[in-house]
Amino acid sequence: MNTTPDETPFSADRTIDLESLKVLAHPLRVQIIDVLSMYGPHTASGLAERLGESSGATSYHLRQLARHDFVREVVDRGTARERWWERAPGGISLDARKVADTEAGRAAASLVVRQWQSNRDMALAEFIDRGLDVLPGDWMDASAMNTANARVTAEQLDELTKKISRITDEFVEMHRGQNLPGSRQIQVQFNAFPLIDGEETPK
């Protein structure tokens, strides 16, 4: 299950183990990683202002995340008193089945995935609530919110998710590092999953 692909191809994903998952299993740490993914490098004080936390709290959590290579200090930027931090290269892939064989692993995986989804929901809700007021018409026209329903096998669903992942990866890689006039940060959200209360057709 790819949970937060970030800005790198899925081939570069880091599949986190239980030890790293436990480090990540804190709502503020997930929020920090998401902010660095979406908006780029920040200082601890910049993160604190954006997230409504104290700089002491963000600084502490940044150090813990750095110890496990989720974030890293930006080289040649900042000072000894005001360090800049960035998301470590590569996406984060979480295989829930591999970490859910213990109660602690299941709880940590649930917390992390729920926080990631909460952050995504908040970004989408803000777009819905404020997009028409703050975005030019061409940005609204270029945006999309799509839902589709189908009845397929697990293999067919796997084929779809991998195909869309490849398209997204290629798009991100094509535009990596650009900062053209008129460009702005975007987020691509794609969810595809079986409905839990649905019934599987007998084989």
pLDDT at 115: 94
Cα 66 to its chain centre, rounded Å, is: 17
Q: Secondary structure of the chain: what % helix, strand, coil (to 5)?
A: 55, 10, 35
Q: What is the pLDDT of residues 178-202, one digit of tens each?
A: 899 999 999 999 888 888 888 889 9
Mean pLDDT score of the chain, rounded to an integer? 89
Q: What is the pLDDT of residues 54-108, one digit of tens each?
A: 999 999 999 999 999 999 999 888 777 789 999 998 888 888 788 878 888 899 9
Residue 142's φ and ψ, nearest 5 degrees, are: -80, -15
**Fold (topology level) of 2-145:** Arc Repressor Mutant, subunit A (1.10.10)
Q: What secondary structure does DSSP assign to 15-47, as a single string?
A: E--HHHHHHH-SHHHHHHHHHHHHH--EEHHHH
Cα 90 to its chain centre, rounded Å, is: 11
Domain borders along the chain are: 2-145
